[in-house]
Homo-oligomer: A and B are copies of this chain.
Amino acid sequence: MNIGLDMMGGDYAPLEAIKGLQLYFNTPNPQPTTNNVQLHLFGSPDALNPLIEEYALPADRIKVVPTSQVIAMEEHPTKALKEKSDSSIAVGFGHLAHGKIDAFISAGNTGAMMVGSLFSIKAIEGILRPTIGAYMPRENGKLGWLLDAGINADCKPENLEQFALLGSIFAEQVLGYEHPKVGLINIGEEEGKGNLLAQAAYPLLKQNKQFNFIGNIEGRDVFLDKADVMVCEGFTGNVILKLAESIHGLVQRRNVHDEFFDMFEFEQYGGVPVLGVNKPVIIGHGISHAKAFMNMIRIAEKMIEKDVIGKIKQSLLPTA
């Protein structure tokens, strides 16, 4: 198993990525089957080699892939990918497309990661719109999975149906929920409620037997365990995500100490996968620290081990 890591992406690159690798190698693996993972580190050897030595990363588990350019956080994605062909993100996607690595991770420019995903490894045939989700803290202590989290601001009903399918597979395979409960985010409980999109999406979700649709959920249900997978277009999803992210700061500034409210520290979750493209791609937050990098590698491992991409492809085949 070969996992690629952009060492130059994120606000604290490459140091936090190095620390994340150290943490990864020093932490007992909850999935021992993935103990043989080889990490491919994309970045400047001059920047990386001294740190690899300093942090004593195991030489037999890592391989530096030298790159000479970096796509900065604020650069225009398409332009940057075109002009910086020797950037860590561009080279990483090249390796992913050619099968030299099985997954690619970056905490760098999100737009460049999306564009790279769509242009180099492409959407899975039949997927109308790849999507990015977000973890949601829930009162039961288990994370929910909200999608779309902001990539697809305007959606058609069919997009929401596919988000439900993609989210359900991810929640089952990676988050470990059996028959995850899929809810449609809406402004009323009964079928027929909502805006035109939600009204049209409901029957599509209801008739699809590939996931466990439980009906509409409302804003008040997001932090409860009503649904494991919460589906909406990316406008509402992004507002919910950023609102939820803001709660951690509020809780800290109000000096509230509580296990549940600690879950709102989103940095701990690492990155999120681009769902609906042909290989596992994980995008991390720009402010990712060591723990986030470790968690992103774990998510990539799990996506490869559980063959999430294969299961998504299978779910799209016409049923007999």
Interface positions of A (Cβ within 8 A of B): 139, 150, 153-154, 185, 187, 194-196, 198, 218-224, 232-236, 238-247, 250, 253-254, 256, 258, 260-261
Structural contact, A223 and B250, CB atoms closer than 8 A? yes
Complex CA–CA separation, A281 to B231 (angstroms)? 35
Q: A223-B246, A261-B254 are in contact. Are A150 and B239 (CB under 8 A)?
A: no
Give Cα A258 to B247, complex, Å: 14
Are A233 and B195 in contact (CB-based, < 8 A)? yes
Complex CA–CA separation, A240 to B187 (angstroms): 10
Which residues of chain B have C-beta atoms less than 8 A from A219's C-beta?
A: 238-246
Residues of B contacting A244 in the complex (Cβ-Cβ under 8 angstroms): 219
Which chain B residues border A223 with CB–CB below 8 Å?
Answer: 243, 246-247, 250
Q: Determine if B139 and A235 form an interchain contact, defined as CB atoms under 8 angstroms apart.
A: no
* Contact across chains for A242 and B254 when beta carbons are under 8 A apart: no
With both beta carbons as reference points, the residue of chain B lying nearest to A219 in the complex is identified as B242
- Smallest distance from the beta carbon of A156 to chain B beta carbons, Å? 12
- 24 chain-A/chain-B pairs, Cβ below 8 angstroms: A153-B187, A153-B195, A153-B198, A154-B196, A185-B239, A187-B235, A187-B238, A187-B242, A194-B235, A219-B241, A220-B245, A223-B243, A223-B247, A223-B250, A224-B246, A232-B239, A235-B236, A236-B236, A236-B239, A239-B239, A239-B240, A247-B247, A250-B260, A256-B261
Query: How far is B101's CA from A216's CA once the two chains are assembled, in angstroms?
Result: 40
CB neighbours (8 Å) of A154 from chain B are 195-196
Contact across chains for B220 and A242 when beta carbons are under 8 A apart: yes
State whether B250 touches A139 (Cβ < 8 A). Answer: yes
- Please give me the residue from chain B that is nearest to A234 by CB atom: B187
Expressed in whole angstroms, the minimum distance between the Cβ of A181 and any Cβ of chain B is: 18
User: Closest approach, in angstroms, between the C-beta of A155 and any C-beta of chain B?
Assistant: 9
A250: chain B residues at CB < 8 Å are 139, 223, 260
**Which of B234, B240, B256 sits near A256, CB closer than 8 Å?**
B256
Q: Is there an interface contact between B153 and A235, defined as CB atoms closer than 8 Å? A: no
Give the complex CA separation of A5 and B273 in angstroms: 54
A150 to B254, CA, bound (A): 30
Contact of A239 among B218, B234, B246, B254 (CB under 8 A): B218
Specify the chain B residue showing the minimal Cβ separation from A185: B239
Closest to A235 in B: B195
The interface residues of chain B lying within 8 Å CB-to-CB of A222 are 243, 246
Assembly CA distance A234 to B185 (angstroms): 13
Return chain B residues, CB-CB under 8 Å to A239.
185, 187, 218-219, 232, 236, 239-240
CA distance A20 to B254 in the complex (A): 32
Q: Do B246 and A220 touch (CB < 8 A)?
A: yes
For A256, the chain B residues whose CB sits under 8 A away are 256, 258, 261
Residues of B within 8 A of A235 (CB): 187, 194-195, 198, 236
Min CB distance, A245 to chain B, in Å? 6
